[in-house]
Amino acid sequence: MTTSNPHPLPSDPDPSLPRPGLLRGVLAPVVTPFRSDLSPDPARFARHCSWLLAHGCSGLAVFGTTSEANSLSVPERLELLEGLTSAGVAPGRLLPGTGCCALPDTVALTAHAARLGCAGVLMLPPFYYKEASEEGLFRSFSQVIQRVGDTRLRIYLYNIPQVAQVAITGSLLERLLKAYPGTVAGVKDSSGDWENTRAMLAFAPDGFQVFVGSELFLLENLRHGGVGCITAGANVNPGPIDQVYRLFQDPGAPALQAGIDRIRAILQRHGPLIPALKAVLAHFSRDSAWRTVRPPHVEMGLDETNRLIGELEAEGFSMRGI
């Protein structure tokens, strides 16, 4: 089977429409705030996104794993995305997650993001069927690209096999890049395996952007040609992580990396990570509503929260301006 595209993408219908730019640096998969009835809270979401952009994040990977995105419906994601742009968040700083189990859902979210002028989309493979073949995964991504049919579309493949149980392999990546050069713009490797990321960096053609999925690998990624990280830790620690990004060639960069590693280790010791991040946000913002998670997640208990906050404060951690 040929990997060429049998349905070439159309030209933009209006050249005045926004076109995506390339994001680099530190991106947060933004945690989603919920009201007491478990409905999303667009106003609180927009405030947190604005704080992140003002305190070290280059962009926002909304609707990522840390966002509890797979607990959100398509209409809820669309409402939150519209709320961000209405609140003044530039679409060019957004990389929304659009990968769903259902092809029409992925197409709807991806097309909307492209029309808004988002920098791109972060796309999980279809993850319900765990034994999907490479051919099946290739066809899934291909169908999304063809059905969206927008030359502004930039897809960042999301590799998180320990959660999705479906991996983005090197051979699949090679096929997609050959068939859709430019449209397949990058990858977020959340495998947690630096050797896997290094292999992607060695394989990547010029202009292909490789993000790591944790700040723990940020310095190594940058020193091997990567462009940044898309990391849960940026929800609460964006400034110090951004320092590593900006000063990665500086002799003091390893010490900066060690500092963000210590904070990440504390967060992970008190996991699961999503309730832990929300507990930290609730404490430092003095807004207990942040503790709310959607089932199947369960909020962190108060005793565990106190231990977590105590360890963070012993490291001098703070969230200025939150």
Which one is catalytic: 32, 98, 110, 158? 158
Residue 48 makes CB contacts below 8 A (sequence gap 6+) with 30, 31, 33, 235, 281
Secondary structure of 242-278 as H, E, C letters: HHHHHCCCCCCHHHHHHHHHHHHHHHHHCCCHHHHHH
Which one is catalytic: 32, 65, 106, 305? 65
Token pair belonging to 242: 């951004």
Supply the pLDDT for residue 245. 98
Is 129 labeled as catalytic in the residue annotation? yes
Mind listing the pLDDT tens digit of every residue in the chain (322 residues)? 333 333 344 334 343 444 456 899 999 999 999 999 999 999 999 999 999 999 999 999 999 999 999 999 999 999 999 999 999 999 999 999 999 999 999 999 999 999 999 999 999 999 999 999 999 999 999 999 999 999 999 999 999 999 999 999 999 999 999 999 999 999 999 999 999 999 999 988 999 999 999 999 999 999 999 999 999 999 999 999 999 999 999 999 999 999 999 999 999 999 899 999 999 999 999 999 999 999 999 999 999 999 999 999 999 999 999 9
Please count the other Cβ atoms lying within 10 Å of the Cβ belonging to residue 266.
20
pLDDT in tens, 202-248: 988 999 999 999 999 999 999 999 999 999 999 999 999 999 999 99
194 CA to centre of own chain: 18
Which one is catalytic: 188, 245, 278, 292? 188
* Strand extents, DSSP E, 21-175: 25-28, 59-60, 121-123, 155-159
Secondary structure of 11-36 as H, E, C letters: CCCCCCCCCCCCCCEEEECCCCCECC
What does the CA dihedral 215, 217, 222, 228 come to, rounded to 10 degrees? -40
Is 292 labeled as catalytic in the residue annotation? no
- d(CA 115, CA 248) in angstroms, rounded, equals 35
Determine the straight-line distance between the first and last CA of the chain, rounded to whole angstroms: 53
* 59, β-bridge pairs: 27
Give the CATH architecture of domain 25-249: Alpha-Beta Barrel (3.20)
- d(CA 132, CA 79) in angstroms, rounded, equals 31
The answer to whether 230 and 241 are in contact (CB under 8 A) is no
Which one is catalytic: 129, 151, 169, 178? 129
Domains in the chain: boundaries: 25-249
Which pTM was predicted?
Answer: 0.93
Residues in the chain: 322
